[in-house]
């Protein structure tokens, strides 16, 4: 794409483990009957990556309905969307001025329902193979999302819109947590379509306690490592989230999140922050430095997309892993793919394709057969890197 006169190349990879292998969706009939389904053959159109040759850049893109998503370039954040009045080939790119959209600093709350941690001390001289293997191992979190009735109504009770929004959020969440070798898989989404199952009120603490009781009594039926309630109402005192610290893998591993605004970047900033508390990370001062300029665990929350964890938060996470040894973190989901076949012509290099330059009319790559997404025989394309996606 051309941005301010400069060609931008997005290098994207298909997101893995976005959904758990047994992902389910639960709604309720008007009579209150629970209806749980396991959607199959859902299109996988979620990608993450960065801008080619740009350090600390980030991109989270969906191709489900044209190109849609978020990327950061030279410390400026951009959103891309297809133009509604076109055939999805024309897109609009605009800056995301988070500070202007969200001038007030928001806060979160932490409940010490999990294990306690004292002052952190990291000894670098004492190492063991077992410790190092545990710290280096890929880690997985099975996440269960509950959407309250207000959230459901905010999206006009449209499951397709809700699913698209939630999957976009999950993709962004993994952009953040992959930086500390944690993969978050959505194993279930429950929508309180017929009415809330608890009393959801503006008092975040009250809603948290109510959700904690509900979760403790229902967790065995809905196996997961951590649950978050996304609420369509506003909480009091500019508090947008509340979580149980040091609680992963336990019945108290929950968080409640204010999700009234239809802003996936702002929502994932809060979700990732609260999950950090669950993993033993504390708030950090607002002036703490992180490579991307915005720390996940900043004490003041805004709609600015955070990508990095500070050095102190990484140290707290390491201590939490070594002291609590949450076994559920090492239980990998069975590899699954929520798309059956790659799509030739979408300009994204997928499994089985040598290249993808778009439709025959769009393709300008002399080395690529647009209809087959294969390199033309007898051509020397050594310098034409087909693994990178040009948009």
Token pair 């749980």: residue: 36
383: pLDDT confidence band, cut at 50, 70 and 90? very low
**Cβ pair 316, 281 in contact under 8 A:** yes
CB 215 within 8 A of CB 52: no
Q: CB-based contacts of 356: which residues, under 8 Å, 6+ apart?
A: 344, 345, 346, 347, 348, 349, 350, 368, 373, 386, 389
Q: What are phi and psi of 259, to 5 degrees?
A: -130, 45
| pLDDT tier, 109 (very low <50, low <70, confident <90, very high otherwise) | low
Q: What pLDDT is attached to residue 148? A: 98
Report the distance separating Cα 148 and Cα 191, nearest Å: 6
- Give the residue, 111 or 46, on which the prediction is more confident: 46
Is 50 exceeded by the pLDDT of residue 332?
A: yes
The top-scoring range by mean pLDDT among 1-5, 147-151, 296-300 is 147-151
Q: Which pLDDT belongs to residue 224?
A: 93
pLDDT confidence tier of residue 8, bands split at 50, 70 and 90:
confident
- Report pTM: 0.78
At residue 129 the predicted structure's pLDDT band, cuts being 50, 70 and 90, is: low
Class of domain 16-40+97-330: alpha beta
The reported pLDDT for the residue numbered 99 is: 41
If DSSP codes are grouped into helix, strand and coil, which group holds residue 384? Answer: coil
Q: CA 166, CA 267: separation in Å to the nearest integer?
A: 10
- pLDDT attached to residue 372: 87
Tens digit of each residue's pLDDT (9 = 90 or more) over 222-252: 789 999 999 999 999 888 999 999 999 999 9
Q: Give me the active site residues, please.
A: 274
| 280 has pLDDT over 60 | yes
Query: Residue 334 has what pLDDT?
Result: 55
- The helix/strand/coil state of 28 is strand
Mean pLDDT value across residues 134-141: 86
**For residue 304, what are its two tokens?**
């600015």
3-class DSSP state for residue 274?
helix
pLDDT at 9: 83
| Tokens found for residue 43 | 């299109």
Q: What tokens were used for 79?
A: 């959103």
Residue 146: CB atoms within 10 Å: 26
pLDDT for the residue 97: 59
Mean pLDDT along residues 376-388:
56
pLDDT in tens, 177-226: 999 999 999 999 999 999 999 999 999 999 999 999 999 998 777 789 99
Question: 309 is written with which tokens?
Answer: 């964890």
List Cα–Cα distances, 81 to 59, 64, 72, 84, in angstroms. 14, 11, 15, 9
How much is the pLDDT for 340? 35
Compute the distance between CA of residue 107 and CA of residue 316 in angstroms, rounded to an integer.
Answer: 20
Q: Give me the phi and psi of 170, to 5 degrees please.
A: -60, -40
* Domain ranges across the chain: 16-40+97-330, 342-391
Average confidence score pLDDT of the chain: 82
Whole-angstrom Cα distance, residue 131 to residue 325?
A: 10
Query: Is residue 387 pLDDT above 60, yes or no?
Result: no
Instruction: Flag whether pLDDT at 107 surpasses 80.
Output: no
């Amino acid at each position: 794409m051309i941005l301010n006169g400069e060609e931008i190349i997005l290098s994207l990879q298909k997101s893995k483990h976005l959904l758990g292998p047994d992902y389910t969706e639960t709604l309720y009939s008007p009579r209150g009957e629970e209806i749980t389904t396991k959607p199959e053959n859902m299109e996988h159109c979620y990608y993450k990556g960065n801008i080619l040759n740009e350090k600390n850049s980030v991109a989270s893109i969906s191709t489900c309905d044209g190109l849609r998503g978020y990327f950061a370039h030279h410390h400026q954040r951009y959103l891309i969307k297809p133009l509604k009045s076109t055939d999805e080939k024309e897109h609009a790119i605009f800056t995301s001025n988070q500070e202007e959209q969200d001038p007030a600093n928001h806060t979160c709350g932490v409940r010490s329902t999990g294990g306690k941690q004292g002052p952190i001390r990291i000894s670098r001289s004492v190492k063991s193979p077992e410790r190092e293997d545990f710290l280096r191992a890929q880690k997985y979190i099975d996440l269960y999302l509950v959407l309250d009735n207000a959230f459901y109504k905010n999206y006009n009770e449209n499951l397709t819109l809700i699913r698209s929004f939630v999957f976009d959020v999950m993709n962004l969440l993994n952009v953040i947590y992959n930086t500390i070798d944690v993969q978050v898989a959505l194993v279930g989404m429950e929508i309180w379509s017929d009415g809330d199952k608890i009393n959801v009120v503006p008092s975040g603490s009250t809603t948290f306690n109510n959700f904690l009781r509900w979760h403790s009594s229902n967790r065995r039926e809905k196996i997961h490592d951590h649950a978050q309630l996304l609420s369509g109402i506003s909480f009091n005192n500019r508090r947008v989230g509340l979580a149980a610290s040091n609680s992963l893998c336990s019945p108290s591993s929950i968080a409640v999140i204010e999700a009234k605004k239809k802003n996936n970047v702002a929502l994932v900033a809060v979700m990732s922050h609260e999950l950090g508390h669950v993993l033993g990370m504390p708030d950090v001062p607002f002036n703490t430095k992180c490579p991307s300029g915005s720390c996940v665990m900043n004490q003041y929350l805004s709609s600015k997309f955070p990508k990095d964890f500070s050095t102190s938060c990484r140290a707290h996470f390491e201590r939490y892993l070594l002291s609590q040894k949450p076994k559920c973190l090492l239980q990998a989901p069975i590899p699954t793919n929520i798309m059956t076949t790659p799509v030739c012509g979408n300009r994204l290099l997928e499994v089985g394709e040598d290249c993808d330059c778009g439709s025959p009319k769009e393709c300008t790559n002399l080395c690529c057969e647009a209809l087959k997404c294969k390199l033309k025989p007898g051509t020397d394309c050594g310098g034409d890197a087909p693994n990178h996606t040009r948009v």
